[in-house]
Amino acid sequence: MKKTLCAFLTMAMMIAGTTITSFAGESEIPATVPTSLEPITIETDLNDIDLTKPFSETYHTTDSNGEEITVELSFVPAPAQTKGSSTTTASAGTWTSSYNGGVYNQSYKFDLAKSGSQWTMSNARSHLYSGVLCKFSNAKLKISRSTSTSSYPCEINGSVDVSLFDNQWVTLSSATAFVDTTVNSNGTITTSWN
């Protein structure tokens, strides 16, 4: 009985060893996930938008693997101010820039207001990122220039390091994903992903 049990366990261990070796061999197949893609950009003229109403602009494309990619800029106006309030600026509300791809997603929110002839970004928040079989690290969200000038736009940058895994041990690819939003003094808002 002991010999039969011992033989059975030895055979099971050999099969398990073969299976593990087989999986390790399969994971060495080159990954088809690109480590960098061409940037995707959408531009919108704020002078053409009624900022008392919700707004959304979306750009769709597909990557080299056939996965759909969406870059979106949206705005939700603040609730109507009470009568007599001095804070009834048309641009009061929440802006959201987002990237949604087949593997991972990233988004953040910010506020935007016009100050004289220039635009000002503030209150960078809600930096979210998620993905399937992804590990995220080194996430950053910052306003690199809060107020536009005649030469430079105001700018907010979101980034996160993404590692895509075949399983919990094998990394297919790693890259830093960026979602940037700028507004120049003419009122052109640009959202880009790279």
| CATH number of the domain within which 154 lies | 2.60.40
Residue 181, token pair as written in the block: 């939003």
Return averaged pLDDT per consecutive 10 residues of the chain, 194 residues in all.
41 37 33 49 88 89 79 86 47 87 88 89 95 90 95 95 80 87 93 86
Number of domains in the chain: 2
59 and 147 in one domain?
yes
Contacts (Cβ under 8 Å, ≥6 apart) of 85: none
Per-residue model confidence (pLDDT) at position 109: 96
Per-residue model confidence (pLDDT) at position 16: 39
Cβ neighbours, 10 Å, residue 48: 8
36 and 25 in one domain?
no
64 and 5 in one domain?
no
106 and 19 in one domain?
no
156 and 146 in one domain?
yes
Distance (Å, whole) CA 142 – CA 157: 5
22 and 116 in one domain?
no
56 and 8 in one domain?
no
165 and 147 in one domain?
yes
Per-residue model confidence (pLDDT) at position 172: 79
pTM: 0.73
Let me know: does 185 contact 151? Beta carbons within 8 Å. Answer: no
36 and 22 in one domain?
no
Per-residue model confidence (pLDDT) at position 36: 44
Per-residue model confidence (pLDDT) at position 80: 65
Q: Would you give the end-to-end CA distance of the chain in angstroms?
A: 64
144 and 169 in one domain?
yes
The SS3 assignment for 152 reads coil
94 and 25 in one domain?
no
Structural domain including 114 reads 31-80+89-193
**Alpha-carbon distances, residue 70 vs 23, 39, 161, 192 (angstroms):** 33, 12, 19, 11
147 and 60 in one domain?
yes
